[in-house]
Amino acid sequence: MIYCVICLTEVIPVFNWTYFLSKEPPFYLCDGCKQKLVPIVGECCTICNRPLVDLDASFIYDDICHDCKRWEENSKWKGVLKQNSSLFLYNDFLKEVIARFKYRGDYQIAGSFSLYIPKKLFHNKVAIPIPLSKVRLYERGFNQTEAILHGAGIPSANCLTRMHSEKQSKKTRAARLEAETVFAVENNKKIISQDVILVDDIYTTGATLHHAAMAVKEAGAKSVVSFTIAR
């Protein structure tokens, strides 16, 4: 029997020619869970992929949001993170799913995200998962971002280390902009003159990804973009 990896409801595959001629997916989602995942569509910030439809016009500058404008106005951060792509809106359903995944050790949920990851986005790029601190890794037992890449069959280079464990999202905007180094690159051989794609589960303030991008750029990467499951 086949079950949805999120809600454990029995899933009955649609048996058609596509099913028989393609490789059977290792993970399944029921229709109910699929419908609760809200894809990001429509007009979005061209840098962070934030939907602009619900954002007041006074916080939109040409085709970027006010948060990205702040990052780009700072000479230290301008152009460091070229672009972010995200799959789904961080609604209540996805918040609960990611909480189960990250904090309750439900590793199989990584497979549900792999069904949606656009493999073309990773073509000719070095994928680097955002690392956890040693304390967080010990608490959780695995790095959720590494699990997502593994579930999607995407090779990664684990060359980033986290210098401290303080959450960037809990800092003020000014503190995030001026924070000291958060990440370091252990071995830059795989990223020198390469296009890099950073991978994380959620894009919130953008601070974590900007700091990681800075470390990677300073270590010799040609360009840096990012990808997250939720925005």
Note the helical H segments in 104-221: 109-114, 134-140, 144-151, 173-178, 207-218
Same domain, residue pair 5 and 77: no
pLDDT tens-digit profile of 64-75?
999 999 999 999
pTM: 0.87
Average model confidence (pLDDT) for the chain?
88
Same domain, residue pair 16 and 43: no
Same domain, residue pair 89 and 57: yes
DSSP bridge pairs for 225: 197
The pLDDT assigned to 22 comes to: 54
pLDDT tens-digit profile of 127-167?
999 999 888 888 888 999 999 999 899 999 999 999 865 55
Same domain, residue pair 100 and 49: yes
Same domain, residue pair 108 and 31: no
The pLDDT assigned to 11 comes to: 84
Same domain, residue pair 14 and 111: no
Same domain, residue pair 126 and 159: yes
Task: Count up the domains in the chain and report the number.
Answer: 2
Q: Which residue has the higher pLDDT, 3 or 18?
A: 3
Which residues form the domain of 201?
38-230
Q: How many CA atoms lie within 13 A of 15 on its CB side?
A: 1
Same domain, residue pair 146 and 224: yes
Is the CB of residue 185 less than 8 Å from the CB of residue 178? no
CATH of the domain at 59: 3.40.50
